[in-house]
Chain A
Amino acid sequence: MIPVPQTLRRYPWGLIATLLFIAGFGMLVLYSAAGGSFTPWALTHGMRFAIFLTMALIIGFFIPLELMARLSFLAYAGIAVLLFGVELAGAVRGGSQRWLDIGFMNLQPSELMKVAIVLALARFYSMLPPAETPRVRALGPALVLIGIPAALVMLQPDLGTALSIIASGVVVMFLAGLPLWWFIGAGVAGIAALPVLFSFLHDYQQKRVLIFLNPEEDPLGAGYHITQSKIAIGSGGLDGKGFLNGSQSHLDYLPEGHTDFIFATMAEEWGLIGGLVLGFAYFLLLRWTTRVALDASTRFGQLTAAGLTMTIFFYIAINLMMVMGLAPVVGIPLPLFSHGGSSMLTIMLCVGIILAVQRDKSGTRRPFG
């Protein structure tokens, strides 16, 4: 980690440098993916990053955590309504609709829900008296809070985002201290129910999962993404083919080379070294968020920071697993790296809120923190 001197603690320079590095590296890769051009991706990527970084700093420095805690249920409810809205709009227009056009970008309410679910659950568990923790009262409302948005997002259908909402929610529940055997039991039941859950998936989602399990079976069809992505990463070798020299991305063999598969675009030109450097930057980011969670002075802060850490981690892990052929193609971008406004907004919201947690000194520090 870039050391943050105690005197400058008020200004999170290390964090800003890490974020700048990731987004700047992303711009370079997007510049290359466009065939050596700032348009159409690199420039908007940089501009959005500037806007969202400002937003994150404003949130972190000017909005008290207490206010966020109080508004968390309201925000959750509002975003749930927006989710209904896109669902309805999709039904009216025919076909699936995931976003609302808000001018400079298309907003996906499901992205915001990833943040809202963590805040709402953190709020719920911070309000819950400690003695209630192992009781059913601690479980029921949380399941409802997770279930509604997860179901709505699944209907869109967006398996990746639904899983992200569930994962973040479950991690908050876990960290809130719910009995361990509940999670073990649910995990075993979940594995047992996998075939049933699988049957609930759409045909194309089922196909993606099957192709993930055996990509060579359909190298030109849906397995094409995974195969081409692995070729891009594998052919990059240790130090890559060089900036602007990636044939897989420049000759269009790699699909979605500027969004979901941007890591493959990067790895082809920068090689394993580029991948490890980027991974280290993410490690620094997550180490910071985890430390904030451990150091948080309130229970809401603890759970929020830890839950949002999981949200960010889920993006990174699933995206990297997907591009390396370890997970089905679910359409999750790489945070701050992929070209796309919604995911960047979500990540920078997370960063802003965690920054607010870090600055919040309202609670009493506990000996175990």
Chain B
Amino acid sequence: MFGKFWKSPPVTEAWRGFTFTRRTMLVGGVQMAIGGALAARMAYISIIDNERYVLESESNRLNLTLIPPRRGWIVDKRGKALANNRVSLRIDLIPDRVQNKAKIVADLQQLLGLDADTVQRVRRDLDKAAGFQPVPVAENLDEARFASILVRITDLPGVAPARGFARNYPAGAAVGHLLGYVGAPTAEEYQKARDPLYVTPGFKTGKDGLERYFEPYLRGKPGAKRVEVTAGGKVVRELDTQPDTQGETLHLAIDGDLQDYAARRMGRESGAAVVIDCLTGDIIAFVSMPCFDPNSFSDGIGQKEWAWLNGDTDRKPLLNKATRGLYPPGSTLKPTAALAILEAGVDPAERITCPGGYRLGNRFFRCLGRHGPVDMPTAIERSCNTYFYAMAHRLGYDRIAPVARTLGLGEDFRISGANQRFGTIPDSAWKQRKYDQAWSASDSLNAVIGQGYVIVNPLQLAVSTARIASGKALYPSLIARKPELVKTLPYSAEHLAIVRSGMDRVVNGNGTAVRSRLDLDGIKLAGKTGTAQVRGLASGSRGQSGAYRFRDHGLFVCYAPTDNPRYAAAVIIEHGMGGSRAAAPVAKDIFTYLYDRDKAMATLTTLEEGWGGDIPTRMARDFAGFQGLSIDTSEVEVP
């Protein structure tokens, strides 16, 4: 054993000294070996791995803050801004730098006058948040509030005031449904995109309408700011800033002034108005009212405002009625039916006698009057149901539906940003497919006067009118595009002229909209009124009175000038009780505006006085009323 081996030599003073020297040399050698290993280790870290550690040291030292890009503007056909950016003063909290969460939130609540909802959200975000990712506290502060934070900034560790940009819609509610709105990205969107920009305060994405559809185009590229920070998060100095790149400018076909006028002219009514350029098919006004103010959404809409908008189930401010509102077109479909009847070979001069209705078997389909013998233009002028009942019965609706579709009714247009409901132009095959029932003659009679299964959106009505007026297969567009050759419709010019003469007489002859003649020299309006029943005829009521939501819709399609059509429009006033009564006067003023702005504005000014102010004023009052508050107009007294 080892023991025996070591015991064998006698342990003497000399042996001990020798052992000590040997073992000390050994220990010294081991120490030198360890020292050498340490030197090698240090060389390895500082030379071989140097690059990696320099990078890590830099990433420690430098903190990259993203600057949200300014969104691209949205401009109308003249280059006027419909959506731009304004300076927004905002306050964020940097969680890492906050020392006392409860105190800082309480301080900010007092300084900024935050409401309970916001305080709760900030507390929640602050608990979840980690590191340097700022938590937004308030935006769109006024200079005074902002300054009140700036002067106390040293007492408020973690509070980061910033000057950013916010989306601004100068026309407010008038463009809400057209442009949509922007908002802060949701947690789901961040999960999907995995882009730190999505959690940068002040960054907004398009949430609806064109803002959403053209998001990649409008977004731009974020800038970045590099700062040197301590481990505790204190900024030592700013190093450099790379500016953001603004998003592209989106050019619309819309006429911003007309859009604004049309929206205002809708007044207190609920409805839609679409105006189309008969040369190009461009949509120059695209209005659905009432509407939310997209500025409110961009700032992060309050719960109360949301409840107010969402709670109006009669007038539905959140519904884009121009493309998502579906209505029976009523008599506005008669020009289309007339064109189909002509194309089927019927002589327009053929007279049908109207005794106040049409008998089909044992059912009597009523007309609005006793028109006596009427030819086709007269039938359009007077809106005689009997004429169209007789023709539909003779020809069958299957010969009318294809013409309606060619004119754009029931078509799902590829309109950027507008999520459409495109309705139905029925025929026998459709009914068989949908209800497994045979088409009946009474179905034809209902369909030909735009009732029954027929259901369309206002955009389609405007397009079909523009196509009749121009004779061209115009395709609608919200976006400005290069002029292109538009194909003509596969219908004889003669037939179209006959239909147009009927529409001319509706306004300028002895028709249903004579009260809405344009008060302009040499420019005449042609159109067709329509009244769409909300409840079936069987209910007995004609929908001319009673509860708002059971009243008939008023519709009007039109174009001008009559001799050389330039603009076409469709106006729908929900529950307006009649096309000539509710919709045609609106259309008249919109067309007046196109040719004589001053005259139209004078009319509008008078009207708005009666309605209680312009759109923002009325919305503010209505919202205040909803909140149970009243605006005290004597509040401000100038000394």
A residues near B (Cβ < 8 Å) are 130-131, 133-134, 171, 174-177, 179-181, 184, 228, 230-238, 247-248, 251-253, 267-268, 271-272, 275-276, 279, 282-283, 286, 290, 293-294, 299, 302-303, 306, 309-310, 313, 317, 320-321, 324, 326, 366-369
Contact = CB atoms under 8 A, between A and B. Distances in A.
Q: Is the interface of A mostly helix, strand, loop or mixed?
A: helix
A275 to B, nearest CB: 5
Contact of A233 (B31, B35, B39, B46): B46
A180 B17 contact: no
Given A134-B11, A267-B42, A247 B27 contact: no
Contacts of A177: 11, 15-16, 19-20, 23
Interface string B1-36: 111001100111111111111011101100110110
B157 to A, nearest CB: 15
A275 B15 contact: no
A275 B46 contact: yes
Contacts of B236: 251
A237 B24 contact: no
Contacts of A368: 14, 17-18, 20-21
Q: Kindly name the residue among A237, A282, A309 whose own CB sees the greatest number of chain B CB atoms within 10 A.
A: A237
Contacts of A324: 38, 41-42, 45
* Range of interface residues on B (Cβ < 8 Å): 35 or more
Nearest to B131: A220
B61 A247 contact: yes
Nearest to B230: A251
Contacts of B52: 234
A279 B14 CA distance: 35
B57 interface: yes
B395 interface: no
A306 B27 contact: yes
Q: Kindly name the residue among B15, B231, B232 whose own CB sees the greatest number of chain A CB atoms within 10 A.
A: B231
A267 B24 contact: no
A175 B20 contact: yes
A272 B232 CA distance: 28
30 contacts: A130-B16, A134-B3, A179-B3, A179-B6, A180-B6, A233-B45, A233-B53, A234-B54, A235-B50, A235-B53, A237-B50, A238-B46, A238-B47, A238-B50, A251-B229, A252-B230, A276-B42, A293-B24, A294-B24, A294-B25, A302-B20, A302-B24, A303-B20, A306-B20, A310-B27, A320-B38, A320-B42, A324-B45, A326-B38, A366-B13
Contact of A306 (B16, B24, B35, B39): B24
B564 interface: no
B43 interface: yes
Given A177-B11, A233-B53, A276-B42, 18 more contacts: A131-B10, A181-B2, A231-B57, A234-B45, A234-B49, A234-B56, A235-B53, A235-B54, A238-B50, A247-B61, A272-B46, A275-B39, A276-B39, A299-B17, A302-B20, A302-B24, A368-B17, A368-B18
B28 A290 contact: yes
A248 B60 contact: yes
Nearest to B236: A251
B46 A283 contact: no
Nearest to B25: A294
A215 B275 CA distance: 68
B228 interface: yes
Contacts of B38: 279, 317, 320-321, 324, 326
A286 B28 CA distance: 9
Contacts of B61: 247-248, 251, 253
Contacts of A175: 20, 23-24, 27
Contacts of B3: 134, 179, 181
